[in-house]
């Protein structure tokens, strides 16, 4: 029960952080009314391994014992983004410090870092073995599209796509969800083997 609450809280916090970051980067003080702009989540591209390195440096500056426990990104892909092989998104990395008993998140957009202050963890999460995992972000995206994700996005334009990587019972798992008027549709992909998990 506590784990579900923690997971839900992390997703909400990361989405709020991403929304704030995108608003800040696009100059939310401009004359264009906020409701006239639809947030896409698209960011300047940075290879995931470079983003992970920058996030790790920031997290270990916070606490040397910080370990990566979750990686996330959210965006609204339109038709043109269904053909991309590399995701142009802001990645956020959540770290856990055993000595602090807390979680902290770093979002990386191109050369910029955005730090979310630590919050207490109700229970220690499982650490990820590595990022990027053996089944890379690009492979994950192509697998998601091939497993029906592309068709779901076409049928529900404007839907939010949320990507997360975390440890589950099967090991490290990519979870790609399409959230929109049609409800929630999710594909789970093992991040070491590329197997689609039912």
Question: Is the pLDDT higher at 64 or at 112?
Answer: 64
Question: Domain limits at 94?
Answer: 2-197
What is the distance of C-alpha 151 from the center of its chain? 21
- Look up the pTM and report it: 0.76
| Average pLDDT for the chain | 80
- Residue 59, judged by CB atoms within 10 A of its CB (0-12, 13-18, 19+), counts as buried
Contacts with 55 (C-beta within 8 Å, 6 or more apart), sequence order:
68, 91, 93, 95, 106, 108, 113
Predicted pLDDT of residue 156:
85
The structure tokens listed for 99 are: 């000595």
> What's the start-to-end Cα distance of the chain, in Å?
22
pLDDT digits over 114-144, tens only? 999 999 999 999 999 989 999 999 999 999 9
Question: Is the pLDDT higher at 108 or at 9?
Answer: 108
Predicted pLDDT of residue 43:
57
The structural domain count of the chain equals 1
Predicted pLDDT of residue 84:
67
48 membership: H or E segment, kind and range: helix 48-62
Average pLDDT on 84-110 reads 89
């Amino acid at each position: 029960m506590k784990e579900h609450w923690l997971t839900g809280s992390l997703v909400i916090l990361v989405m709020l952080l991403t929304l704030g970051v995108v608003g800040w980067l696009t100059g939310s003080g401009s004359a264009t009314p906020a409701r006239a702009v639809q947030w896409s989540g698209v960011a300047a591209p940075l290879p995931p391994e470079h983003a992970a390195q920058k996030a790790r440096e920031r997290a270990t500056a916070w606490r040397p014992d910080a370990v990566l426990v979750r990686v996330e990104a959210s965006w609204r892909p339109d038709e043109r983004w269904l053909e991309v092989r590399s995701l142009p998104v802001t990645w956020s990395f959540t770290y856990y410090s055993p000595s602090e008993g807390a979680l902290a998140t770093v979002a990386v957009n191109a050369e910029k870092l955005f730090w979310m202050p630590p919050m207490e963890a109700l229970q220690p999460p499982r650490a990820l073995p590595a990022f990027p995992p053996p089944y890379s972000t690009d492979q994950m995206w192509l697998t998601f599209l091939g497993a029906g994700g592309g068709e779901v996005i076409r049928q529900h334009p404007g839907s939010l796509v949320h990507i997360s990587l975390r440890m589950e019972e099967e090991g490290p798992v990519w979870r790609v969800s399409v959230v929109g008027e049609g409800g929630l549709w999710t594909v789970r992909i093992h991040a070491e083997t590329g197997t689609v998990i039912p």
